[in-house]
Structure 1
Amino acid sequence: MKYPVLLLVIGLAGTVGCQSSEKPAEEAQAFMLSDTMMHRIVLDSVADEPIRNELMLVGKIVADESKVIEVFPLVGGNVEEVNAELGDYVRKGQSLALIRSGEVADFERQMIQAQADLLVAQKNLKSTQELFESKLAPEREVNSAQKEVDNAQAELNRIKEVFRIYGLGKTSSYVVKSPIDGFVIQKKINREMQLRSDHSESLFTIGQLSDVWVLANVNESDIGQVKLGMEAQIGILSYPGEVFHGKVDKVFNVLDPETKAMTVRIRLQNAGYKLKPGMHATVKLQFLEGGSMLAIPSRAIIFERSKHWVMVFHSRSNVETRPIEVYRSLGDRAYIREGLKAGERIISKNQLLIYDALND
């Protein structure tokens, strides 16, 4: 197919009838790239570059463990309310659940008793001091009364500290509160549950998801290629075509005894909370293979008739269609085993139009 709008054909010396006897290389000289086409193409130079390779890993999204807090019940009792569900965003101090507890009622009784004991001790001290001032009581009784006041005050302070730690109010209910801002990423509580005082499982797990981790497995044969700080490209099934970028920030230097694989961790920023714990991920890690090879943009390559071709630009009137042997394509770069020389210029945009015009 010819593109007369884009390519200007100028005749060489001789008649149309003699064109059939010219060589293909000479036919290429019959074409000149128009000004319009020159503005539409991009030229890239063939360059010698270090050979890069990549590992393809499978992993999953998990929350950053340093920003995850488990919420445990401090008392046993009956769950009356559950105010947060899986996936909810909660604020620090927000009520997650309400537990009616006999232990809390006992703390309240202790508070009332401690307040009463302190009041009695203070009254006794006052009376003893008055008797002492009237020479009707010895000093040791004043000291004893003062000690009772101090003991009663200490007990009241202890109970108040228990109330502060447990976040208790004036009822026999215990409010489970969120310790941080974050998402509920695990929930193990329902209404009417009976919680024992020795309940050892967390009720909620709250995680801050502004940053997440990808945990990926590396086969034993590839372990030597993985280094801290490697750039990683992450693909997520939920977002086809979108690439997330991160870095390897930890290599777990132990192997799983069953899979014989090593785990690496990649940290990702999670703008908009698009990445959810539990999502499956594909991970690309690029590394230097050793040695160098000529490289060009992958987009410059044309594949036709079971061969790879590039359009080599010599001048506006001399564009060569040249077969090449590709060693490897990696992302936007292709490494060339044969067919090109360093410094040559190739067309890497709209080259297919020129290829069709020259090879129809």
Structure 2
Amino acid sequence: MKARLTITATCLVLIGVAGYSGYRLGASHTMPATSATQGDRNILYWHDPMVPGQRFDKPGKSPFMDMPLVPVYADGDDAGNGVNKGGVSIDSRVAQNLGIRTAEVKSAHMGAVVEAPGNVAIDERSIRVIQARTTAFVQHVGVRATLDPVRQGQTLVTFYAPDWVAAQEEYLAVMRLPASLQNDLASAAKARMLQSGMTQGQADAVTRTGKLQSAQSIASPLDGLVTEIAVREGMTISPGMTLFHLADLAQVWVIAEVPEAQARSIAPGQTVTVSATAAPDPVQGKVDAILPDVDPATRTIKVRIVLPNKQRRLVPGMFASVRFESGDRQDVLQIPTEAVIRTGQRTLVMVDAGQRGYASTEIRTGREVDGMTEVTAGLRAGQRVVTSGQFLIDSEASLRGTSERLETPVAASAPSATSAPSAPSAP
């Protein structure tokens, strides 16, 4: 009986010792009510940079990554140097693991090269409208569909015009009179043909042949395309009625869509280079006009370019790539485009503040050329900006409760982390 009591008592003692030890072990990983100090600096807690959500009340080795715990100071600096009170400081080992890269803000010539997509269009100044000059009956139409090609001199329509026939018969009747009576009457009869709507060439044909030209025709005045047909065989046409629209393709337009932020480097008369799949080599053209038309969806401005097209290789609707090169040689501040963060309300960059400190800074931007973005305000030459890992830095700032967040306006500030809540003990 005594032996059994002795064994029971021993077990109870061992259980108590184990419980007390577990309690002490758990307490060693729980945040105390007061913060530790190191020199003149106040340490809030220690943490593993790779597991920043877990906090410890004293230094030691991380139970997660087999690396020393890093102190976090009340001024927000992991490195212990007192910098970057408005941003976040990240240990160099963590920065390396996060893949953080930086680039220097440089002042250099940007080249003012703008590349934009475009589409080939008809030069509207080359469009010719063919109209009826008299009442007539259409006998034959030489073109059947829009966008059919036509050659200069090709017959577009053949018709019978009663008024023209009457004017010709009058002239031919005069020409049959004795020569002594033809002087004034012949001139008046020829003028009558022109007044009826006949062209000079048609009237000359009657004079030259001395025969009635009952069937008249209209020929194409140019090489190009038929863009509109409003006449068919058997129709009756009247003076002023539009029959055809023709377009000359010896010169075309290219309508380029340029981002509005880059349009300021483009001016009328500027030489541009246009590349298209249909053209074996790039073609030089000139900016004709910057149209007062901004696409609200893409925020692009239309730029009209005049382009020679002697071989007629370019046709309306073709895609083209346009390259604008400005003669501007002024140096500008520029950073890699990948460093720019656009939140929708602001344009930001993460600045390397030195001594492992980072802070977000609002900037204003200009042109974008070959992967570089012009900075018009917010930075100075020689500073370094983060080009990779910006959002990981922002996440680190969120975990530590620092005031500078990407989505927080500059004027606003969140409360700084002055104390840390208790965290579960490390396993």
TM-score by length of 2: 0.43
Higher normalized strand content (fraction of residues): 1
Higher normalized helix content (fraction of residues): 1
- From the CA coordinates, give the structure whose radius of gyration is larger: 2
Higher relative contact order (CA 8 A, sep 6+): 1
